[in-house]
Structure 1
Amino acid sequence: MKHTNHTACPCGSGWSLTDCCGRYHAGELASTPEALMRARYSAFVLDLADYLLTTWHPSTRPARLELDAATAWKRLEILESDEKDERGSVHFRATFREGRRWSVLEESSNFVREAGRWLYLDGNPVIRSLKPGRNASCPCASGRKFKVCCGLA
């Protein structure tokens, strides 16, 4: 997928990908745990497994990461973010779709800063199913009704 300077960042910041998470994907260090969380979410959306592994703490990082092409990440909500000294946490919700099924992953992620670089340490993800009604707001946060947005796909 080709991205332009005007492509919206998947993290939902309202900024362009280039000005937001794209700069972290290109090698700039995230300045806060929340910035890293947003960049990691965007990496899931953009299928950037190498970035995810690079920003994962070596003590908890898997040997390899295979992203599921059937998972379409649709929305990120940051519920709370905290940083103190070399530790940080981000509580978030990520809405995704697999085929016609919708779900939400909610996690309080833990981060650690080593040598000036924030790294994802761990978290306790909880996944729950969504069952959007035809006339409900679409879970992708478009502001449209489900039946005329993602409900058509």
Structure 2
Amino acid sequence: MEIAIQHNDFSVADEIAKLEQDNVDDGATVTFTGRVRAQNNQQNVTGLFLEHYPEMTEKMLTDIIKQARSKWQISKVRVIHRVGHLSLGDNIVFVGVTSRHRTDAFASAEFIMDFLKVKAPFWKKETTEQGEKWLDAKASDHQKASNWE
């Protein structure tokens, strides 16, 4: 399966091993892991809560991966996104791509992550020392995604 939306944590090492298992054709594996950080917008973060719309989210992620496959020669793709309550340092998202060549692997992984940030229907509520607030995609996230078009 290329896509997993889950409450449970994942092992980055295990996910890389799955991408590389029995894969002698690809010379490149590129991964990105996003984690809950301690500060955002000059505020101390204490946790994060993520929601999603299941059918819509999986369809959008599938579409993003299809777009990446149409632009680059990539083989294996794995996207994991967690939902529910997360603590500082917890994994949020994993994007892994294999390809024969690094250029396609790097570009496609960045493309997938950029579009996931602005197109996939995930909603994030950040808990800080000042209270809770829902987060929107940043203008810089939208700009990065628009650079691919």
The TM-score with structure 2 as length reference comes to 0.28
The TM-score with structure 1 as length reference comes to 0.28
